[in-house]
Amino acid sequence: MAQALQSLLPEAVERAEPVLRPLMRRELAQGLGLNFTRLDVVCPDGAPHPFKLLEAQAGDPSAMGWTDALCDAMGLPATLMPAHRRAFERLTEGRRIAFVVKRGSVVESDHRLLAEHYTLHGWQAEVVAPAALEPERYDAVFRDALDELLPTASGPRLLDAALRGQVMVLNPFVAALGDDKALLEPLSTPSRWPTETAKVLSACVPCTRVVAARRCDWEGKEVDLAEHLFRSREGTVLKPVDGYGGFGVTLGPFVTEAQWQVALEGALASPGRFVAQAHVPLPRAQVSTLDGALEAHVVDSLWLCPELAGGFYRASVSPVVNVHQGGGLAPISFTAPFL
């Protein structure tokens, strides 16, 4: 799955901002690509049924620090931050690192936990605001969102330093392309892939199409996409291509026909800004909270680096399972031979 996503990046680079393309091409030539990538999946109750990929995320720690902190508190092996550090140690002999994140960001605490972990293992680690970054002071940089970094004076300086090979960026700029949910369209189009790869992807990736008023292939049928989606509310989800945190997601089975029509008309009015994805019913489970047990929708989030590095389990009473939408998480403990 990660290899298939990685293979789509060269094509996606050509749609990136021109200022980023030279560095992105260099990163791909170096084999950096997605590197640390999170796959949000729906796991079956038992083998051999395949999991279903909901989306991918690359480029920010996204609860990585808190997952390991919870592992420590529960007496479980913490795997994500050590795997993250070892990946950097393979890429640079230097031990000066900046964790670049906007003050007050929802992932600032994860950056700080990562910085503490690196410090405990002999690194000189600092958490730095995007505008305050001085790339030449560091051997390595772990950045957060590009839209917070690039408009600052530090953004072009980091681009130049990375392009010259003066600083290593573990979450490369090209990794930001992996967050684009539009990549799920080619990933779920069997005709793009060799036969064996197509079989795996067809089993694991729900049909996903960029929303536009045009004809397209939907699960092997030629359809008018707008017309098809108007009729397929109960089996479809709408998502912003660059969304995060569950914001802007409309789950067809959980809204009225009137609400679906409003959401779909909004997506059609902004061609290329939304994807439609075949709805994957989420399993429900009894989970324990500080207020007692409750039944919740659950999703597994697995980190690859590029091998399996760890993961966490997300649960929510809302069908949009995300911490930003009031959900919670718990670490998943893996044992040999998986880690």
Q: Is residue 123 part of a domain?
A: no
Mean pLDDT across the stretch 110-134?
Answer: 97
Q: Is residue 138 part of a domain?
A: no
Q: Is residue 336 part of a domain?
A: no
The tokens describing 318, both together, are 């809302």
0.85 surpassed by pTM: yes
| pLDDT at residue 335 tops 80 | no
Full DSSP string of 246-312 = TTT-EEGGGS-HHHHHHHHHHHHTSTTSEEEEE--PPPEEEEEETTEEEEEEEEEEEEESSSEEEEE
pLDDT band at 199 (very low <50, low <70, confident <90, very high): very high
Q: What is the pLDDT of residues 10-41, one digit of tens each?
A: 999 998 999 999 999 999 998 888 888 999 99
CA atoms within 13 A on the CB side of 154: 21
Q: What is the pLDDT of residues 224-275, one digit of tens each?
A: 999 999 999 999 999 999 877 668 899 999 999 999 999 999 999 999 999 9
| Cα angle: 126, vertex 128, 131; to 5 degrees | 155
Q: Is residue 211 part of a domain?
A: yes
Q: Total domain count for the chain?
A: 1
Mean residue pLDDT across the chain: 91
Q: Is residue 239 part of a domain?
A: yes
State which residues form the domain around 231: 207-278
Q: Is residue 241 part of a domain?
A: yes
CATH code, domain with 213: 3.30.1490
Q: Is residue 110 part of a domain?
A: no
| pLDDT at residue 120 tops 70 | yes
Q: Is residue 178 part of a domain?
A: no
Q: What is the pLDDT of residues 31-77, one digit of tens each?
A: 888 888 999 999 877 666 789 999 998 878 888 999 999 999 989 88
